[in-house]
Structure 1
């Protein structure tokens, strides 16, 4: 293409494209206006001018909803890709700064987050005066894009990773254990089949009882133990196990100290060793900001040193 044929948009045209992309992402003029810090009327006029310039309708408009036309979908895909590339270019330049700055929101599993990750984040906050933390602790499903979360840390297989970028950190090793008091009363299981005669403490997430991961001939299998007690929190499961309420499969990072002190005893050692992956996750449609990159790099470094498992 000759230089005379190259389209160089004016500032107003660029603003119109940016407004269009924000409306397509937000789904309404009102939401786009709030994100852009302008009036709803200004958003509508900007999109209308863009449609007039292009000579096509970009949105289907009704009193109840706003949706992209076929032309709008095609134009949005190209514009969003271009804006993402610009964002990535800016992020690459900003990443050269030595200290991460600004607010970062991170959501992580409750027990794992409090015990393993929180000290790491607090140490980063002391090292980087410009870094501001918003930390939340959840074992429920969280939509990072919908809730404006910069980074997630999640344990387990990723059921739906579409729209997300996942960076493996480490694995969580699981073990079946019980309090000496419980084993003295109920006996020690020698085989997986023996679990049918025991009280078992199991996790409870999203209205479902969590299965255990047990090894059989070196191969990991899912096993549904008798769910005597169900808890939606790892710390609660640990407390019940220490109290002698039954057997439980818990991560080594949670019980390692209790095993060393003899407060818990590992059972079915030949079937233990099941593992679950731990990932750092962020939205694919957002470039990796320097502050997010700094946190991910720190978590990767801590994982390599064995501090996350």
Structure 2
């Protein structure tokens, strides 16, 4: 019977160590044996995993994707063996999680760091970016996503809450430029927006049928970071469409004023996603539970109806 795991350990070690020789030293075999094992693995898969030269080895595109899956499998096996040996379901190993930049930095990262303090054997790798990633291909264990989810059969999703979008401006800006009352008025205002490659600046506004749709706006300033967008709005640089978890405090204290109320207020769901496996790894389970607990406690962040804006 064909051994489907043959060559995987050699492949991962060769990449980690940077050469067949270094991998062979750790495994107690020859460099030639490591190279042949990886060659047999490539032949079985029908793809080239490594570019080989006399001085170095480099991953191919297929090799990068396969390496992420191999690491996940090896970590899961290590954790299963540890649990069997100790009888403990204490989370351990590295948790790789991808978060939206501003929301993640403000609200999710502190909860994850507290989780790491409670579980000393749990290590974190956190990426902050405002674009969707292929979790399976990049070896991401968990992700938090804001907005509608597509169809991802390899992932499990749990709703944490939602965010509401409001359009606001500093009182000083409105005193200078007046308050918009219709979508057409936005053409005569300085709008502050996010910055997306190839995407025209737009906001979610309610149409004549009561449904929310994207409407292009004239962007005076484009900023990819939510905190920078908030700062620009507070400084009187223009109008901005911001989530209540970001603008709520400024709205409550009067530093910002909400405008176009009848046309704004779009709600976007917030989910946590993780890879579908035959069992939920302890390190993923405790993180899911921690974020679900955070969402239940912080309704001001995860429940627009409780934001008071």
Partner residue in 1 for 2:167: 176
Tell whether 2:247 aligns with 1:251.
no
Tell me the distance in 2 between the aligned counterparts of 1:228 and 1:218: 28
- Choose the corresponding residue for 1:296, options 288, 293, 300: 288
Q: CA deviation at 1:247?
A: 0.5
Paired positions, count:
273
Name the SS for the 2:194 alignment partner: strand
> What's the CA shift string for 1:70-89, capped at 9, x where partnerless?
xxxxxxxxxx9xx89x96x9
Q: Which runs of 4+ in 1 moved over 4 A?
A: 20-23, 29-41, 43-51, 60-67, 284-287
Q: CA deviation at 1:18?
A: 0.7
Tell me the distance in 1 between the aligned counterparts of 2:276 and 2:14: 24
> What's the CA shift string for 1:233-254, capped at 9, x where partnerless?
1111111100111111000000
Partner residue in 2 for 1:278: 270
User: Given that residues 96 and 125 in structure 2 are in contact (C-alpha distance below 8 angstroms), is that contact kept between their aligned partners in structure 1?
Assistant: yes
Partner residue in 2 for 1:18: 5
User: Given that residues 19 and 43 in structure 1 are in contact (C-alpha distance below 8 angstroms), is that contact kept between their aligned partners in structure 2?
Assistant: no
Q: Any stretches of 5+ residues in structure 1 without a counterpart?
A: 1-6, 8-12, 68-79
User: Given that residues 172 and 252 in structure 1 are in contact (C-alpha distance below 8 angstroms), is that contact kept between their aligned partners in structure 2?
Assistant: yes
Partner residue in 1 for 2:212: 220
Partner residue in 1 for 2:93: 102
Tell me the distance in 1 between the aligned counterparts of 2:50 and 2:283: 41
RMSD after superposition: 4.1
Q: Any stretches of 5+ residues in structure 2 without a counterpart?
A: 25-30, 53-58, 61-69, 303-309
Tell whether 2:127 aligns with 1:136.
yes
Q: CA deviation at 1:196?
A: 1.4
Partner residue in 1 for 2:147: 156
Name the SS for the 1:166 alignment partner: strand
Q: CA deviation at 1:207?
A: 4.4
Name the SS for the 1:18 alignment partner: coil
Tell whether 2:225 aligns with 1:233.
yes
TM-score w.r.t. length of structure 1: 0.71
TM-score w.r.t. length of structure 2: 0.71
Q: CA deviation at 1:61?
A: 7.2
> What's the CA shift string for 1:129-164, capped at 9, x where partnerless?
332223232224434344433222122234573644
In structure 2, the CA distance between the partners of 1:157 and 1:41, relative to structure 1 (3 Å rule), is farther
Tell me the distance in 2 between the aligned counterparts of 1:300 and 1:293: 11
Q: CA deviation at 1:104?
A: 1.7
> What's the CA shift string for 1:97-154, capped at 9, x where partnerless?
4542233222211210121112212322333233222323222443434443322212
User: Given that residues 22 and 32 in structure 1 are in contact (C-alpha distance below 8 angstroms), is that contact kept between their aligned partners in structure 2?
Assistant: no
Largest Rg, 1 or 2: 1
Q: CA deviation at 1:215?
A: 2.1
